[in-house]
Amino acid sequence: MGAVDWLRTTTPGLLVLCGLAIAVLLFAIIKVKLEPFIALLLTGLGLALAAGLPVSKIVGTAIKAGDSLLETGFGGILGHIAVIIGLGTVLGAILERSGGADVLTGKLLNLFGEKGAPFAMGLLGLIFGIPVFFDIGIFVLAPLIYVAAKRGGRSLVLYAMPMLAGLSMTHAFLPPHPGPVALGGLLGVSLGWLILMGFVCGLPGFVAAGIVWGSYIGKRIHVEVPDEFLVRKEDEQTAPDEGERVSGGSGGVATKTVTATPPSVGLIGAIIAIPLVLILGATFGTQLLDKDSQLLQVLTFFGTPAVALLIAVLIAFYVLGVRRGSTVQELSELTAESLRPVGMLLLVVGAGAFFGKVISATGIGTALADTMSAAGLPVIVLAYIISCGLRIAQGSATVAIVTTGGIVAPLVASHGYSQMSIALIAMAIAAGSIILSHVNDGGFWIIAKFFNLTVKQTLQTWTVLETILSVVSFAVAAILFAIVS
């Protein structure tokens, strides 16, 4: 048997081929600095050719390409996530622009008082992080953290870490964020189960990383809030008057923007809750109602993630936009502005899904399943280890999630797991995708800049926080998986 045949037809050869493909992918992203979308696409095509797949299967023919790995890989996942991510982005934009973050901050600070301010900041990140992407959440909430830390007279770290833990937890574990939504499509699990298990696994990690670790390290690393981070010096600082709010200006510097009377906390909370309640209603309805039930049909329609988010967006447009004086044209401009960064994100997810599709078609997934079965390593542990390795090596949580999802999907499909078990495997992948954030992660540098941290301080605070969040959340998922599976 020649070397080529050995690589293409034997379990060790297929595993070597998969390992080489991942190594090339990481080299292209880390060393060559190639855009992940291009790197994933090139590596996927190269792996397909190296594995001996027919060209017609890889890219189709000149007449018909609809059944090719390239089109089904991209189209299958993008058909599932594009609408959800787009609507989720728009919802987050209208909530932010209306002053919802400021309202939540003021309410939480009043509720918990000065001593409970760090916990209030954690809840702020947790609540506002559901509809808002991680980096956008930092841009929006950082100026509010500056003000709270300056008034409290304590380290900026004490207030920032809980908020960052809340944003990171929702970004990694809960739809409509890209990672969990992509996993829903890759692994074939409903978003309702992902929401349920996201809260169950993510909240203990949030408490351990954001509240316990944040309070501990915030008392040991003191970071001042530079005056230039604030709109005015502390002796002139007053609470924002009604109709005014502090928002992120250029470079993260706080500026004051005059708006209409701010929305109520109840209204903001209700809008955020609408899609979650509708999606969960459909999930529970599937479990509790007869499949021919008329009520189930209604719950399924309105609980479809795209429909649920569309309803929330339309309500937000009216109550936070039109009713407060915004024109339809202004809301359209806001929508277009918020959607601009989404394009590359969707391309990365689509390319990652194509890469995973190629891995499945080559038979590597089956070979990996046989190897893991022989080694006695549970699928959920394998999923976590692969995701951790990819995250540490190349820095992108999204790339780690979609690549791991593609590798693990054949293993999940072959075992016939329940929806809850698959959701827990998805949580393990999500947990692995955030471990050990360091200098190859763009978020690392955003946090260092926005919270006045040196590289050493960022490693001591943020990197450890992410690792605790990852390990604790995975531990919860693994324990539950052992019980239910």
pLDDT of 143 higher than 80: no
- Round to the nearest angstrom and report the end-to-end CA distance of the chain: 40
- Cβ count within 10 A of residue 213: 21
Q: Which has the closest alpha carbon to 430: 485, 369, 384? A: 384
pLDDT of 256 higher than 90: no
Q: How confident is the model at residue 414 (pLDDT cuts 50, 70, 90)?
A: confident
Q: Which stretch of DSSP H or E encloses residue 290?
A: none
pLDDT at position 71 is: 85
Count helices and strands in the chain by DSSP H and E runs: 24, 2
For residue 147, CA distances in Å to 124, 254, 260, 475 come to 14, 9, 21, 36
pLDDT of 236 higher than 50: no
Query: Longest Cα pair distance anywhere in the chain, in angstroms?
Result: 80
Whether 450 and 142 have beta carbons less than 8 Å apart is answered as: yes
pLDDT at position 314 is: 94
Residue 354 to residue 73: CA distance in whole angstroms? 4
Contacts of 39 (CB under 8 A, 6+ apart): 25, 28, 29, 32
Q: Using one digit for the tens of pLDDT, what is the confidence trace for 99-125?
A: 777 787 788 888 888 788 889 899 989
Q: Using one digit for the tens of pLDDT, what is the confidence trace for 18-43?
A: 788 888 887 888 788 888 889 889 98
Q: Which stretch of DSSP H or E encloses residue 258?
A: strand 254-258
Q: Using one digit for the tens of pLDDT, what is the confidence trace for 347-383?
A: 887 887 788 778 778 877 666 656 665 667 789 999 9
Q: How confident is the model at residue 304 (pLDDT cuts 50, 70, 90)?
A: confident
pLDDT higher at 345 or 447: 447
pLDDT higher at 65 or 225: 225
Residue 183 to residue 5: CA distance in whole angstroms? 33
Q: Where are the alpha helices (DSSP H) in 174-252?
A: 178-187, 191-206, 214-218
pLDDT at position 366 is: 62
Q: Judging by beta carbons within 10 Å of its beta carbon (0-12, 13-18, 19+), is residue 407 exposed, middle or buried?
A: buried
Read off the pTM.
Answer: 0.74
